[in-house]
A and B are shown apart, each in its own frame.
Chain A
């Protein structure tokens, strides 16, 4: 057994919360620049220019990229040969989020009760997904997720007969109806298969993939390309003001499911698309 002190997890979570909120992923900036060449709408191009400028100001002047600094979604893969010492895992993660959001001047956006709506004041609790894997390492991933784009996400229990065409239709509908609300250009994570909760987790995990990296399965990589085209044909454009660059990346994850079902989840992310990992 390899001993890992949970204080290391706290430190990693804190650092990723802060870093991802101040530094736009270089792949996203690259996508803005490519988009600038592809975008047909002048208003759309102006918006992309301002987003590039925003990323620059955020990094240079230490102002968060977006005021919605997100709900902290944390994935932890724990090697089965790791023994955690020094405290509880959940407490360690929450401490990292609390410290990151307080010391990083990040906005706290958690309501204590979904119906009473009082702010918890420190951005906890986080959403935590843990998984036991082989080995003696531990991987922490934090993905602060904005509310505007999360609200436009969807889950549908489809019929097996709906097949690939059904997935395409769902993505088409989701992007069109979301329009300007998720702050396009967007990134889409699509989870297909599993069951009700698993397809949503798959969709969320798909958003963690490096932007533009295709699925290793050729058929799914082709589906990602098709879905990207479908999203861009929507005409929604940057900020929904009309244009040709609506989406800058689609990642699909798929897994086996019940013979009677075809669950599909579309997790919409905005251009801020924050995520970072650390192996401990």
Chain B
């Protein structure tokens, strides 16, 4: 008999997560976006289209469209609430902290900068769902790379 301990389902499906899943924030199209990225998880079909308006190294506005599980959609919804008005450097820092938290780093999970995203700390105990939680941040990283690449092209 092989026994595996029960993962804490309650820690996965927190009220805050379900709330963002049912009522996603910043969902929709951003007409004056400067960059857009579509991220897909091909194994499960989760999809996020992230749209940013970047001005002077700052995220002036952000919206997303998406289709997927509660974890991927709540995560991107929470992420957008933290990004508005933040510098690209700060956004990058958040992405790094969040990724650390997903890989079980407890110190990262206590970082107040992560705000509501800390409610996703329990996902770290569900290895097959970590990708879901990271999908929005993957899109963010890609969008920032694109933005910086274009700036370099313009300067170069």
A binds B: no
